[in-house]
Chains A and B, each alone.
Chain A
Amino acid sequence: MPADDQLAQSREELHVGGLGSSSRPAAARAGTGSIVLPEEPSGAGMDLQLSYESGVELKARSQWAYARMRFFRHRLAVASIVVLILISLVAIFAKQIAPYGYDELDLNNIAAPPTLKDHHWFGTDLLGRDYLSRVIFGVRTSLWVAVFVAVLSTLIGTTLGAIAGYYGGTVDNLLMRFTDLILTLPGLAVLLTAAAYLGSSDSEFGPITLTQPVKVGLILAFLFWTGLARIVRGVFLSLREKEFVEAAKASGASDMRIIIRHILPNCVGPIVVTMTLIIATAILVEAALSFLGFGIQPPNPALGSLIADGQVQGFETWWLVTFPGLVIVVIALAVNFVGDGLRDALDPTQRIRA
């Protein structure tokens, strides 16, 4: 990729260079010392002549193209996104990939350490369940919860932040005081109380069945949207004063349209970055919650509850703690690196270094 860029760039320079020398009047090139004024452009601006009439292909890049280029220069972020994609694929196709079901017992191999035999690569737990399979299904649950939390809290945070920032005044005050209220809640205490209150099984509200992961996701999302709401509000506050917003108003656009079509695309950067960071945090907090026994309940595996199961046994069965722990670390790190890369890529003040 970088090699391609360089090639394209040098090609561009070549073209521009070629134009520069050929378009200059012969007298000036020969160095006779006479000053020759460039011909007055008629009607069109100079830049147009450069890029169109003279046939030079200056490839126009949108800001997304620039962002992509910047992202792909961030090696760690690219590696991380590859890792994340692989892990997500494994999670999505868990049923096809895992050698066993997550609650399948292998009574011949109880508490077996990691071995190549019978594909028990991560060993088995005290009931003889294949640990690789349990970790794979655990990743599936944890990632699902994390993405659910990220999407939901992004929706809540963006909506409230956008409304507060765009309308300002009383609306802003009300929404932001509510945000402050949520922020001041002691997180872990609320999480544990809510988890205990909602119970450890699926609950039904009329026709809606809330499964265990959905409930955990709802609780986490309820606490996680605040940061994003503040960020989005800030961006909206500054952007609503911009002239292009006034111009959009003057062309008859409604508030809704201005918010969604004109201002929101301008804050995609901070939103995406914050969203990735929420995913990382959600995975960690969900693991903590499950570890404490308030999150996903057995026999459904989640990364946190797997560690909790394993730590009861002490260090003799080290693999029961190590593998899910490692996976959590890898996912959280990778998500953070991707977030870093996105932040650098989407920051418009960062110009590309040639």
Chain B
Amino acid sequence: MPDPVLSVRDLTVEFKTEDGIVHAVTGVSYDVFPGETLGVVGESGSGKSVSVMTMLGLTPMPPGRLLSGEALYKGRDLLRMPKKELRDIRGGQMAMIFQDPMTSLNPVLTIGEQIAEAIQVHNPGTNDEDARKRVVELLELVGVPSASSRFDQYPHEFSGGMRQRAMIAMAIANDPQVLIADEPTTALDVTIQAQIIEVMRAAQQETHAAIILITHDLGLIAELADRVVVMYAGRVVELGDVHTIFNSPRHPYTVGLMNSLARLDADQEWLRPIPGQPPSLITPPPGCAFHPRCELSQGRALCRTDVPPLRDFGEGGLHRSACHFAEEVAAYQAATTAAVGAAHAS
């Protein structure tokens, strides 16, 4: 196993709001290895974006507050780095693709100017002509046709899919080691999503960057990710490679996610949603945050009192689950799947 390019350890971030302190991210740890795609999955408000944005110094503080943790990029802690150094890394070795391409581009600058700027900020002294050449190359790489004439167009002259391509071009402009994609396809319609997935594949091939893919779209995870981190209420509840997570999950929440997914390859009549609502992050449930919605817990006291630690399953810490009764999950999964089947049969 190569050394991780980025390792997050015990990251804890909270936000001060009028209603109380929001425990957005609590003790999150994971590694990102070179060239891999790590999917970070979870419901809205599960802390997926905050954990990543905090690493890049993009979480506004205040109201945000970093309580503990470190994010080691090539051995250096991003969270305690001088602002100037972090700025050099941002957009250079670690770049970001945003969710909504309609609002992430500056309306008064041309597409070309914005991508060229990303290059020139990190390579001072690049003259405009070289930058332009490189931008046109990048635009061609991400599949923007007539790149050289589109260079001089403004964002409002681009369609949503084309804008997201431009955003990707901007993100890979400086050959990043880590590419963070925050729900890159959520704002796009389904046909364009498929194209953008292809573009991201091409971008990864070109740059050999590790991608952190933040999404709640399990389809996208299945399509792109090598390994998956499942987050719930600000904590990592399960972590493993994509096949393990999809085929033999060890956490009832992951099972719930899979069951609520419409699949073409399974004979399902009904989808099985996870009952209840995501917990409040201001007053999270005691013990395991998932226990009020958990069908496996069945009111066992341990779930209500103790926060379950991440435990290893499989060798080398490559599959971890934070459930007191992770050993029972396989049977639970079989039962729920059977239940879905039975409902269909009757």
- A: residues with CB less than 8 A from B are 43-48, 52-53, 60, 62-63, 242-244, 246-254, 257, 261-262, 265-266, 268
Contact = CB atoms under 8 A, between A and B. Distances in A.
A252 B159 contact: no
B96 A247 contact: yes
A251 B105 contact: no
A257 B103 contact: no
10 contacts: A48-B159, A242-B103, A244-B107, A250-B96, A251-B170, A252-B89, A253-B91, A253-B121, A261-B109, A262-B106
Given A43-B195, A47-B159, A60-B157, A243 B104 contact: yes
B95 interface: yes
Contacts of B146: 48, 52
B108 A266 contact: yes
B96, B110, B145, most chain A CB atoms within 10 A: B145
Interface in B18-65: 56, 58
Contacts of A53: 145
A53 B162 CA distance: 16
B109 A249 contact: no
B109 A43 contact: no
A63 B56 CA distance: 33
Contact of A247 (B98, B143, B157, B162): B98
Nearest to B156: A63
A47 B192 CA distance: 13
B303 interface: no
The size bracket of the interface on B is: 35 or more
Interface of B: 56, 58, 87-92, 95-96, 98-100, 103-110, 117-118, 121-122, 143, 145-146, 149, 153-154, 156-157, 159, 161-162, 167, 170-171, 192, 195
Contacts of B89: 252
Nearest to B93: A252
A298 B97 CA distance: 65
Given A43-B143, A243-B104, A244-B104, A251 B98 contact: no
Contact of A252 (B91, B104, B108): B91
A181 to B, nearest CB: 27
B159 A250 contact: no
Given A43-B143, A45-B161, A48-B146, A251 B91 contact: yes
Contacts of A250: 56, 58, 90-91, 95-96, 98
Given A43-B195, A63-B154, A247 B105 contact: yes
